[in-house]
Amino acid sequence: MGFCSCFGREGEQKGTSGLNLPQARVVSVVESRQHYSVNGGHEPGTNGENKTQFPIRTFSYYELAAATTFFKEDLFLGKGGFGCVHKGWLDNGQVVAIKQLDRNGLQGNREFLVEVLMLSLLHHEHLINLIGYCTDSDHWMLVYEYMPLGSLEDHLHDLPPDKAPLDWKTRMKILAGAAKGLQYLHDKINPPVIFRDCKPSNILLGEGYFPKLSDFGLAKLGPVGDKTHVSTRVMGTRGYCAPEYAATGKLTVKSDIYSFGVVILELVTGRRGYDEKRPKYEQEVVDWARPMLKDHKKLSKEMADPALKKQFPRRGLFQALAIAAMCLQEEAAKRPKIHEVMTALSCLASQSEVSNDYYGGPSTPKSLQKQPMVDCYNQQDSSRTDQGWR
């Protein structure tokens, strides 16, 4: 995980960066689940909330070593700030991804505990399933359902020649699904959960590019009662972090909306949220895009990811950019709520599905039409030729 170099480790205390926390602590964190409520205390089971919740299992080191043939190299899936991830098979035949906590990694015990706590409480079809964990002496590991298509980031940048780029329709569907996961965190959980690390590498893909949010180690409970924000040390990833949060440490659900806006921009333009290989003024995709997002006359189809090879509905492109622009507004209060973003993206995804002729499709949800960025694409000249649709 690429944490901002200016960002510190939150709440990390000297002496806790090793693996010396007692197992009882993990258990007590998991047991605190009764303090949360989903849907104001009602039983989950609607709107994609997973009804069947299996208890989180504990594994021994040897069970997980056996599952991965002692972490065989050819079962290696990737490495993030937490440590290495391997594919494995449990004794019941279930395919899993096993993430080992790296002693020297950027993340540590605190994130491990928060991940276990959050994922034992949160269950939704667009959130990764945690199957269990291991805290045997030095071997701390997390066991997840296996996501066969890897992370969204794996499908966006530095593609090997034999890998086809994602098409427009798939991109919109992934965004709509990820927004549903965020909506569950913001609107269905009380108090809301702020994800805090929304970016393509934390959106994993199942069969048919079905997206699931992953990596809840930085997640935070949102403000309760009269509080407007929670104060925290600034954590997150450069390029995705909301400006007011980076400047003040005041965290709200609107910080997630900003990060999600960066993800939309990344999928539409094919530029990384932060790319140090680019010239300084355009290392952050938001800095590069802002002048165009602020002035609709500067919006152009040239902003689209060249890997799309011009295969996108022109008006759909402007709509997606307009949604991104609203999420990226500097004033947090002006950013839309996640259900509005989700509705708009679902609309785009379904329009892409039903028709090649985008112009005849349903209009943008009313809640978003109020925003100036949407008005601007409604005024685009629809007589210009469309780029066609695969």
Ligand X SMILES: Nc1ncnc2c1ncn2[C@@H]1O[C@H](COP(=O)(O)OP(=O)(O)O)[C@@H](O)[C@H]1O
Residue ranges at the known binding site for ATP: 99
Is residue 197 part of the annotated active site? The answer reads: yes
Q: Contact, 98 vs 68, CB < 8 A?
A: yes
The answer to whether 239 contacts ligand X (rule: CB under 6 A) is no
Residue 326 CA to residue 320 CA, distance in Å, equals 10
CA dist., res. 329 & res. 361, Å (int): 27
* CB of residue 353 to ligand X, shortest distance in Å: 26
Task: Report the residue from 38, 97, 189, 203 that binds ligand X according to the rule CB under 6 A.
Answer: 97
204 binds, among ligand X, Mg ion, none (CB under 5 to 8 A by kind): ligand X
Nearer to Mg ion, 169 or 212 (CB): 212
- Residues 61-90 close enough to bind Mg ion by CB under 5 A: 80
Stretch that binds Mg ion, among 190-198, 208-216, 219-227, 268-276 (CB under 5 A): 208-216
Collapsing DSSP states into helix, strand and coil, what is residue 190? strand
Is 82 an interacting residue with respect to ligand X (CB under 6 A)?
Answer: yes
Select from 144, 184, 216, 358 the one that contacts ligand X (CB under 6 A).
Answer: 144
What DSSP string describes 241-268?
Answer: S-HHHHHH-EE-HHHHHHHHHHHHHHHH
Site for ligand X contains 317 (CB under 6 A): no
| Range 146-150 contact pairs with CB under 8 angstroms and sequence separation of 24 or more | 146/87, 146/95, 146/96, 146/97, 147/97, 147/204, 147/205, 147/206, 147/212, 147/214, 148/205, 148/206, 148/207, 149/204, 149/205, 149/206, 149/207, 149/209, 150/77, 150/78, 150/204, 150/205
The two tokens of residue 262 are: 């960066």
d(CA 222, CA 54) in angstroms, rounded, equals 26
Choice between 49 and 111, CB closer to ligand X: 111
Closest of 381, 390, 270 to residue 320, by C-alpha = 270
Binding residues for Mg ion, total number by CB under 5 A? 3
User: Which is closer to ligand X, CB of 79 or CB of 290?
Assistant: 79
Place of tokens 């980031």: 153
Chain positions 146 to 185 lying near ligand X, rule: CB under 6 A, are 146-147, 150-151, 154
Applying CB under 6 A, which of residues 68, 109, 120, 202 lies at the interface with ligand X? 202
Question: Quick one: which segment of 71-79, 118-126, 164-172, 345-353 binds ligand X (CB under 6 A)?
Answer: 71-79
Neighbour-count burial of 318, counting CB atoms closer than 10 A to its CB (0-12 exposed, 13-18 middle, 19+ buried): buried
129 contributes a contact to ligand X by CB under 6 A? no
CB 179 within 8 A of CB 338: yes
Binding mask 165-204 for Mg ion (x = CB under 5 A): -------------------------------------x--
CB of 99 vs Mg ion, minimal distance in Å: 8
Which of Mg ion, ligand X, none has residue 299 at its interface (CB below 5 to 8 Å by kind)?
none
Catalytic residue among 74, 158, 197, 386: 197
**Least distance from ligand X to the Cβ atom of residue 62, Å:** 21
215 binds Mg ion (CB under 5 A): yes
Handedness of CA 203, 204, 205, 206 (dihedral sign): negative
Which partner, Mg ion, ligand X, none, binds residue 129 by CB below 5 to 8 Å per kind?
A: none
**With CB cut-offs between 5 and 8 Å by kind, which of Mg ion, ligand X, none does residue 97 bind?**
ligand X
Sequence-distant (6+) residues with CB within 8 A of 328 are 258, 261, 262, 265, 286, 290, 293, 335
Q: How far is the CB of 214 from Mg ion (least distance, A)?
A: 5
CB of 204 to ligand X, least distance (A): 5
Q: Which stretch binds ligand X (CB under 6 A): 47-55, 58-66, 79-87, 347-355?
A: 79-87
To which residue do tokens 């938001």 refer? 286
CB 149 within 8 A of CB 136: no
Q: Residue 138: how many CA atoms within 13 Å on its side-chain side?
A: 3
User: What does R_g of the chain's alpha carbons equal in angstroms?
Assistant: 21
What sign does the CA torsion over 7, 10, 16, 21 have? negative
Active site residues: 197
Residues that bind ligand X (CB under 6 A): 1, 77-82, 85, 97, 99, 128, 144, 146-147, 150-151, 154, 201-202, 204, 214-215
Residues that bind Mg ion (CB under 5 A): 80, 202, 215
